[in-house]
Every structure is written in C-alpha cells, then in structure tokens.
Amino acid sequence: MSNKARLILLAAVAAGLAWLWWWGGRDQQVAEQRTFRATLLSTDTAALRSFTILPAPVEHLPALHFQRDSSGWTVASDSSVFRAFQRPMNELLAKLAHIRPVSVAGSGKDIRERYRLVDSTATTMELPGASGGTLRVGASTGGANTATAMMLEGDTNVYLVPGLFHEVTGMSFIDWIPKPLVNGDPRNWDRVTFVFPGRHMYSLERNKDGWTVNGSPADSIKVGKYLWALSRYYGHGLMDPADTLQAELIYSMRVEDRSRPDPIILGIFNTPKGLMARSTLAPPWMVMPIDAKQELARMFRPPEAFMAH
C-alpha cells in the first residue's frame, strides 16, 4: 500500500471514530434532556364509547357527556341530548389518539395558575379506557409554535403539547349541536337558484361542459370553489323559534341535489332581532342568526361573481 493510500485510510478511520464519539455523546445528551414522558395520553379512539368534558368551574357551564352508538356520537347536557357535530368530534378524536408533549413548563402552583390549570380554571376530560384516564386542559401559548398546557391525573408536571385544544374542548353545548345550512357533496349538485329581495333571481346550472349562469358560460373554477365552501359552512348560535312569527323572507336558495329526494332550501328572514336562517336540512325548531355583512355576502353572491371573462 502506498503512503498516500495509507494516509487516506487513516484519515477515514479517524473521521469514523470522531463521528461515533459525536453520535454517542448526542444520544447521551438527548437521554439527559428528555426526562419527561414521551406520551402524555394514548386513546384507542375506535374503541372509545364515552367521555365527559367538565368546563372550568369559573365558566359556570354544565358538564358535557358524549356517548357513541350505532349512528355515531351524541352529546348530552342535563336532560337534553343531540347528535354531536361530527367535524369537531373528528378533530378531537384525532388529537386524543396520541398526546405527545414537547416540554415541561414546571410543576409549582405559580405555573399551574399561569397556565390556568388550577381547580377553578382548568377544563377536565374524563376518558374511560385511556392511558391516564383524566386530563386537564389549560391555556395556550402564543406565537408561531402554539402549544396547550396540560396535566395528567397523578402527575404534578405541567406539559406543553403542540396545537390548540381549547378550540374544541372549550366548545359549549350549543356549539356541539350541528346547525346545517346548505351542506352535502357539491359533486351531486346540478342547479343552485338564488332569490334576492325584490324577487330578483338567477341560477347556476351544471351541464356537460361545466357550469352556466342563467344559461351563459360561467367560470367553473370560481363556481367550484364557492360551492365547496358553501357545502362545508354551518351556522353559529341559535335563536328563539318564536321570532319567526314576525319574520319576513328576503333571501332564499334552492339546491337540487340528485342524491336527495327533495331539494335543499335555505331561507334568510328579516326579524326585529336581526337576520335569521332556516334550512330544510335542520329540524323545524332550529333557527340560526346570520351576520348581514359577512355571512350573507358569502352565501348570496351576484351572478357577476361567477361570469367567465
């Protein structure tokens, strides 16, 4: 072996030993730094049959009891039971499957108070069958890397878990009741007819070439984006059905969906207490408030919004 080859071989051996030394030290550092549990809670969400959310006592709200049956999940509060809103339920179950903290904020009383995890301010989740059983959900941090403070029954540490949990765990009973407006699969929609105040109306209609606006070619990309957003939009809040006694229908929408025996009809009514919506997808007693500046403008667009240019 030449001197040059011998030098190259020695250099390679030295580099390899240095890499092994660095990697071994790195593993030791990681082991030393990670002194907290890797998984805070694991839940077999497919086997989960029930759980309870206890709002923070300072909020003075009733407990929410969730139960799974053959048709999905229900939510109960006191003596009232409804089908639970599936979208936030899916989000919550995905989060509960594996809750993995990224750090420990501390364990003292001042830390628990700072992150709203004392008895009066923490939201509590009782999860039968989950590893850990009872989970406390506190405040979230700000910034780009948002995390939620949590504690587990029997563990004094406050853990920081990536993401926002309170958006779902902090939902009220009313929030958990689904409030459909015009929902479904837009791929099954063939015609959407809009009626505006003064009985002005127009239709979006699907044909073999795409969509038309009152028979003229429409921008099918714009129509597709609008229908997708419309199909996913739900109402917020509930109004007293008695308010419909003085209601005046001012806007309406009719969606012909070939997967349904009857069209979907949405009505927007003017009442002394503001605008309200009723949908044939919702039970007759369900009326929802509508924001005239934002929600109404998003749902009822003029025909020019869909014209092909």
Distance in angstroms (rounded) separating the CA atoms of residues 278 and 249: 10
40: nearest Cα among 164, 116, 169, 149: 149
Where do we find the tokens 């501390």?
106
Exposed/middle/buried for 170, CB within 10 Å: 0-12, 13-18, 19+?
Answer: middle
Alpha helices in the chain (DSSP H): 3-33, 86-97, 109-114, 166-169, 173-176, 220-232, 295-299
Q: Is the pLDDT of residue 309 over 60?
A: yes
* 184 vs 16, more confident: 184
72: nearest Cα among 57, 56, 87: 87
Mean pLDDT of 267-292: 94
100: nearest Cα among 35, 169, 41, 165: 41
How are beta strands 264-271 and 248-257 bridged, if at all? antiparallel
Q: What pLDDT is attached to residue 218? A: 95
Q: What are phi and psi of 38, to 5 degrees?
A: -75, -35
Q: Is the pLDDT of residue 116 over 90?
A: yes
59: nearest Cα among 173, 176, 177, 179: 173
- 108: tokens are 């003292």
Alpha helices in 144-294 (DSSP H): 166-169, 173-176, 220-232
Distance in angstroms (rounded) separating the CA atoms of residues 122 and 162: 18
Mean pLDDT of 88-117: 93
Distance in angstroms (rounded) separating the CA atoms of residues 309 and 303: 13
Where do we find the tokens 């408030």?
289
Q: What are phi and psi of 98, to 5 degrees?
A: -150, 110
Q: What pLDDT is attached to residue 26? A: 39
How many CA atoms are closer than 13 Å to the CA of 48, on its beta-carbon side?
25
The highest-confidence range among 29-33, 53-57, 292-296, by mean pLDDT, is 53-57
